[in-house]
């Protein structure tokens, strides 16, 4: 199943894994293994492997602000710093942003749902109403 907010899912799962006693690297590895079909999970696994090898890893998938912030926090955790509060703050921000995005989509939904109505139903009703009138007009013009 594809997640609508992959960074939020990553933050939630990694934070829960850390709260359950896993290290940051174990949490990233477990998250990557459990969600291997998702792009962010795959790339976090590759990023962790590159970090453990001492190499710098960059990918377009980490171009957004929140994904970059997630990598910064996880990198701090790999260095031994406490990251649980930072992950919780990022989680709150992502939930807020996700709710705003959802509200915007909900506000657009009535207009989007009118498109099939205007394209298909209104012309059909017009033909039903205007059809007999046009037939009568054509008969009147022929006579």
> Using 50, 70 and 90 to split pLDDT, how confident is the model at 2?
low
The residue ranking higher by pLDDT, 60 or 137, is 137
Cβ neighbours of 114 (radius 10 Å): 11
d(CA 79, CA 38) in angstroms, rounded, equals 26
What does pTM read for this prediction? 0.73
In terms of Cβ atoms closer than 10 Å to its own Cβ (0-12, 13-18, 19+), residue 26 is middle
Q: pLDDT per residue over 28-85, tens digit each? A: 999 999 987 888 888 888 888 888 888 887 777 788 888 889 989 998 998 989 999 9
Paired tokens of 104: 């915007």
């Amino acid at each position: 199943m594809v997640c609508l907010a992959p960074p939020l899912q990553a933050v939630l799962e990694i934070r829960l894994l850390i709260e359950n006693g896993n290290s940051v690297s174990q949490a990233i590895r477990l998250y990557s293994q459990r969600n291997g079909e998702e792009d962010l999970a795959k790339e976090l696994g590759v990023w962790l492997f590159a970090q453990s090898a001492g190499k710098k890893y960059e990918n377009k998938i980490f171009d957004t602000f929140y994904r970059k912030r997630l990598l910064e926090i996880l990198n701090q955790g790999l260095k031994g710093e406490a990251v649980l509060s930072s992950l919780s703050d990022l989680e709150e921000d992502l939930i807020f942003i996700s709710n705003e995005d959802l509200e915007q989509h909900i506000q657009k939904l009535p207009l989007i749902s009118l498109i099939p109505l205007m394209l298909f139903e209104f012309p059909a009703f017009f033909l039903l109403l205007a059809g007999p009138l046009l037939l009568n007009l054509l008969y009147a013009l022929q006579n």
